[in-house]
Structure 1
Amino acid sequence: MQRLIPTGDAARPVAFTEVPQPVPEPGEALVKVEAFAPNRGETFLLEHPSPGLLPGKDIAGLVVQAAADGSGPDTGTRVVGHPAQGGWAEYAAVPTHSLAVLPDGIDSARAAALPLAGITALRLLATAGSPAGRRILLTGASGGVGHYVTELAVGAGADLTAVTATPARGERLAELGAEVVHDVAEARGPFDVVLESTGGADLPLALSKVRPGGTLVWFGQASRTPVSLDFFRLLDGPERVTIRHFHYAGAPYGPDLSALVRLVDQGRLHPEIGRVTDWGRTAGTLVDLRERRIRGKAVLLVGGGR
């Protein structure tokens, strides 16, 4: 079968290679991949790929071999999955605890756009607490996580302010009901919760906008600039603020995926997909994703997809 592997070349970060089809472990199903969606964080890993790196965490396709231990979906079932790696290939072995069954109304392209960003959004909001009636500030809101957080939080009754780099990236978030600003300094606090994902100078500024006793959840550093906090400046800011570190990872992912699929099927969640193309164009798509030339998710179709 064909698989995409890292090259270490920034201009063409992946290339095709021929490899044996994966042999699933007893608790894994073999999935014929129809579509996959790279994440911007994966483009950073490809800059200096570690030995043995096999990218690919967001996939959708068809189970062609059910798990030997009897767990998970049967052969012939359409699924969305979140394997630890190896999804940019014709076939992937996926733990059954990280699969969810797809209804006929959700195609593989939309399904592939769900896993990492959608799981992160669900778990981030669970960490922050019920959004209903709360004022929330979301930084770095331009990507997939920002889209899902905005739609879910506003749909649950939050008053959400989203920070995006450009007006074009904020248009969809405004349509979803967010107040959109383009600099953290423009956000009108105080906020009950700040969801901060850019790092650098933005985190201290966002922290200053939290109400006394409020919470800042730090879930990323998209600026790739370390954060520095001045204790004495905090004394002049809001009191008793809690800072929480958040990382989405931790299997099983199946329940989260099932919840996301259900929300999409009910018309309550709408993946924003900025590009759908053949996986022969993965290398160029990864460069465009890294350089923020794609609004929303990028989805690559394997063998025509569905």
Structure 2
Amino acid sequence: MLRLIPTGEAARPVAFAEVPQPVPEPGEALIKVEAFAPNRGETFLLEEPAPGLLPGKDVAGLVVQAAADGSGPGIGTRVVGHPAQGGWAEYAAVPTHSLAVLPDSIDSARAAALPLAGITALRLLRRAGSLVGRRVLLTGASGGVGHYVTELAARAGAELTAVTATPVRGERLAELGAQVVHEVAAAEGPFDVVLESTGGPDLPVALSKVRPGGTLVWFGQASRTPVTLDFFQLLGGPERVVIQHFHYAGAPYGSDLAALVRLVERGQLHPEIGRISDWAETAGRLVDLRERRIRGKAVLLTLEGR
């Protein structure tokens, strides 16, 4: 079968290779991949790929071999999945606890855009707690996570301010219910909750906008610049501010994937896909993601997904 493997080259991060079809573990189903969606964080791993790296965490396709232990969906079932790796291939072995069944109304491209970004958004908002009537600031809002957070938070009753680099990147977020600004300093605080994903100089500015007793949840460093905090300035700012670190990971993912699928099916969540391409163009789309030239998600279709 064909698999995309790392090259270590900045201009062409992956290339096709002919490899054996994966052999599933007893608790894994074999999926014929129809669509997959790379994440910007994966592009960073490809800059200096670790030995044996098999990228690919977000897939949608068809079960062609059910799990040997009897768990999960049967052969012929359409699914969305979140494997630990190996999804950029014709076939992927996915733990059944990280699969959800797809209804006919959701195509593989939209489904593939759900896993990492959607699970992150769900779990991040659970960490934030009840949002009804609360003022929320979201930085780095124009990526896949940001769109899901915006739609879910607005639907939950939050008064959301989203930070994006440009007006074009903010258009869809405004439609989803956010007030959009283009730098953290322009956000009018104070905020009950700050969801911070850019790091660098933005985090201290965002922290200064938290109300006394409020919370900042740090969940990313998209700027790729480490954060420096002046604790003398911090202690002179909001009283009793809470800083929490958040990372989405922690299987099983199946129940969260099923929740995301239900939301999409009911028209309550809309995957924001900035680019759909044939998987022969994966290398170029990875560069576009790395350089932030795609708003929302990029989705690649295999031969079966076209």
| TM norm structure 1 | 0.99
RMSD: 0.6
Give secondary structure in 2 for the equivalent of 1:97: helix
Q: Tell me the distance in 2 between the aligned counterparts of 1:169 and 1:75.
A: 41
1:128-277 alignment to 2 at 5 Å?
Answer: 128-277=128-277
Percent identity, aligned pairs only, is 86
Give secondary structure in 2 for the equivalent of 1:299: strand
> Which amino acid in the other structure matches residue 281 of structure 2?
R
- State the partner residue of 2:55: 55
Q: Tell me the distance in 1 between the aligned counterparts of 2:123 and 2:51.
A: 30
Q: Tell me the distance in 2 between the aligned counterparts of 1:304 and 1:95.
A: 21
8 Å contact 2:33–2:304 — kept in the other structure?
Answer: no
8 Å contact 1:27–1:96 — kept in the other structure?
Answer: yes
Q: Tell me the distance in 2 between the aligned counterparts of 1:20 and 1:290.
A: 29
Give secondary structure in 2 for the equivalent of 1:258: helix
- State the partner residue of 1:28: 28
Q: Tell me the distance in 1 between the aligned counterparts of 2:85 and 2:203.
A: 30
- State the partner residue of 1:19: 19
8 Å contact 1:2–1:19 — kept in the other structure?
Answer: yes
Q: Tell me the distance in 2 between the aligned counterparts of 1:288 and 1:140.
A: 17
Give secondary structure in 2 for the equivalent of 1:171: helix
- State the partner residue of 1:285: 285
Q: Tell me the distance in 2 between the aligned counterparts of 1:237 and 1:161.
A: 21
Larger mean Cα displacement after TM superposition, 228-237 or 99-108? 228-237
Give secondary structure in 2 for the equivalent of 1:103: coil
Give how far 1:235 is off: 2.1
- State the partner residue of 1:91: 91
8 Å contact 1:32–1:63 — kept in the other structure?
Answer: yes
Give how far 1:277 is off: 1.0
Q: Tell me the distance in 2 between the aligned counterparts of 1:286 and 1:92.
A: 20
8 Å contact 1:151–1:269 — kept in the other structure?
Answer: yes
- State the partner residue of 1:120: 120
Q: Tell me the distance in 2 between the aligned counterparts of 1:137 and 1:295.
A: 19
Give secondary structure in 2 for the equivalent of 1:160: strand
User: How many residue pairs were aligned?
Assistant: 306
Q: Tell me the distance in 1 between the aligned counterparts of 2:296 and 2:234.
A: 35
Give secondary structure in 2 for the equivalent of 1:223: coil
Q: Tell me the distance in 1 between the aligned counterparts of 2:289 and 2:184.
A: 23
8 Å contact 2:118–2:148 — kept in the other structure?
Answer: yes
Q: Which runs of 5+ in 2 are unaligned?
A: none
8 Å contact 1:193–1:215 — kept in the other structure?
Answer: yes
Q: Tell me the distance in 2 between the aligned counterparts of 1:274 and 1:231.
A: 40
Q: Tell me the distance in 2 between the aligned counterparts of 1:235 and 1:71.
A: 52
| TM norm structure 2 | 0.99
> Which amino acid in the other structure matches residue 25 of structure 2?
E
- State the partner residue of 2:4: 4
Q: Tell me the distance in 2 between the aligned counterparts of 1:13 and 1:242.
A: 39
Q: Which runs of 5+ in 1 are unaligned?
A: none
Is 1:299 matched with 2:299? yes
Give how far 1:292 is off: 1.1
Q: Tell me the distance in 1 between the aligned counterparts of 2:203 and 2:274.
A: 28
8 Å contact 1:278–1:304 — kept in the other structure?
Answer: no
- State the partner residue of 2:77: 77
Give how far 1:304 is off: 4.1
Q: Tell me the distance in 2 between the aligned counterparts of 1:249 and 1:136.
A: 23
1:92-144 CA-partner distances (Å, limit 9, x unpaired) = 00000000000000000000000000000000000010111110000010100
Q: Tell me the distance in 2 between the aligned counterparts of 1:195 and 1:285.
A: 27
> Which amino acid in the other structure matches residue 152 of structure 1?
L
- State the partner residue of 1:105: 105
Structure 1 stretches of 4+ with a deviation exceeding 6 A read none
